[in-house]
A and B are shown apart, each in its own frame.
Chain A
Amino acid sequence: MGQVINIQPITRIEGHASISIQLDDQGNVADSKVHVMALRGFEKFVEGKPAEELPRIVTRICGICPWQHHLASNKAVDRCFGVTPTPAGRLLRELMQTVAHAEDKVLHFFFLAAPDFVMGPDADYSVRNVMGIVKAAPELAQRVVKMRYAAKMILEKFAGKAIHPVAGVPGGFSKAMTETERLEILSKMQEVLDFALFTMDFAKKEVFPKYLNEVKELGVIKTGFIGTVDEQGAVNFYDGKLRLMKPDGTYTDFDSQDYCDHLAEHVEPYSMGKMPYARSWNEGFSLDLENPKGIYRANTLARINVADKMATPGAQAELEEFREKFGRPAQYTLLHHWARLIEEVYACEHAIELLEDPEITNPDVRAKVEPGAGRGVGCVEAPRGTLIHDYTTDENGLIKSANLIVGTTHNLGPINMSVNQAARMLIKGGKVDESCLNKIEMAVRAYDP
């Protein structure tokens, strides 16, 4: 066997991972592996803790998507304790979830992904970053920073803490929204929506057309998809049924409480992170590029693939344009970025819809809760994919056991496949340079892990 090429650490992602690429004697790719380094053990150390405290503990799984962990956890505890949140409590949770998505997508697109497209994949690493963008396009950078901050401050100002939130509680929400707050947030969200539409337009004119070749080649694999849809089959981030789609576009819908019947997790010797696969397809697990088994993806592209439509008009128009170009399900990995911006439009439009619901200022935000024994699965869509928290409580309402499947985990198998595909395409005869290694990482960044 030949040389091993290590990319360590994978950068501009949220997490700790590295890539090793094994070359054969001719300098072509024999194999590649994505090593996920982190294991913190939340499933174990939450045992024995009062269940109502979990929404304030599990947030630390991820500082980029703490709202989703917070809300999935609250939903799981609601079920364990047999309580249904009040309508206003539910609306406030969904509003926070939707605004958090809006903020996150701006962060990922401009701060983490855009350097590859705005500065170019071949640019020197010293400028291929957000600092480079600040210098190259100061006006754009200022607008990005300002808009992202506006969305983030909605969360902070209304809910106390934006990172590692505390305002969701079993039974609903900890505080009610006043009319003054509603109007203020509504006007901010309208600004963020304008920015979302500008970003979509900017990307369709200035970014995507230049990189269509990369889109059609880099990290391309064929898989199934998973995501949450509402009763009408439209994307919903907060609640609904899970839809698991096969690579051929056929799908099964199921209640998230039954996730164990449909999903399983495979363990590879080179990754701390487990690799979920579709148990219900009864074909086992394989990352083989030509003939993968059980592999599906979560995240933005998955959600817009499984959905029949988007629930808001601007996002629906964008989805139609997207489907006309790329079909359903769209498989090109870099299209995650495009799908992300469609979801950004949806998030802003939907937040405005929620704010226009008169029920949202109802002061009855929290139903009475009694701790007790039970089991509950809380499921929401995190920016990076379907997020599942499954808790069992004892008679005192303390956690007996917990099982978690977080958004990025679903994609660990597919990320391995995309890296393998990109490496095979880009490394021939032992020739390796910085640009080609960065392009391999671009296949990872699309998943925003």
Chain B
Amino acid sequence: MTEALHASAQMEPLQSVPAEKAEAIHVWNLHKKFGALEVLKGVSLTAKDGDVVAMIGGSGSGKSTFLRCINFLENPTSGVIRINGEDVQMVSDGEGGQYPANRRQIERIRSRLGMVFQNFNLWQHMTLIQNVIEVPVHVLGMKRDEAMAIGEQLLERVGLSAKRDVYPAYLSGGQQQRGAIARALAIQPRVMLFDEPTSALDPELVGEVLKVIGDLAKEGRTMLLVTHEMKFAREVASHVMYLHNGIVEEEGPPEELFGSPKSERLKQFIRTVS
């Protein structure tokens, strides 16, 4: 009954391939159905270390679903996902869908992907610093003192040192989102996943969050970014994908994609959002 799509291929650590940058995420031909509705119709992506991939597209284009499939918050209906060189084993659920065969593998992979949500999703019963050290201490098994030291550095980086003992409910949206970015950084992620990180923010708070994300891109972090901020995507991304109705309509370097879009739809999309 167990129908694994691929044999588990544990890749060598990235030090062994110094010449070429290692693949952090490889997705091939990803499909996702919600009932009869096919949201993703075969999307592929490869992100190497240091890549900043921006995904743009109208609402309902499937870009958020695609991001959520990468850390299995949604189970893809079919397709291959390889993260850190590790193929994720899937099992058929007998109804045309599939789910991960090994929960621990998923947990291990997730603990190396720093997800930042549209609605921040900080844990409300913990102070900011407690939010930041929660995963390092309880999932990754880091010593509390060590996690505290790292956590305080990260809060300083996102400009929230003064708020370390404040509960999220007492922070502004921009502060919460910067705190959520610190929480993601605390796990020393291989890849950062941003799911429309500024969409829930008041216009005057967008800038402070984009600045933090932009700094991360500059220091060479690998990131997947779903966003509506076209100007920002153009500035920070190394690769842009334009999704429409569950397929990649056009992709390429930002100058090319925004400068001379080929597809009529993308031209129209760029006109309407800018």
Report whether chain A binds chain B: no
> Footprint of A on B, CB under 8 Å?
none
> Footprint of B on A, CB under 8 Å?
none
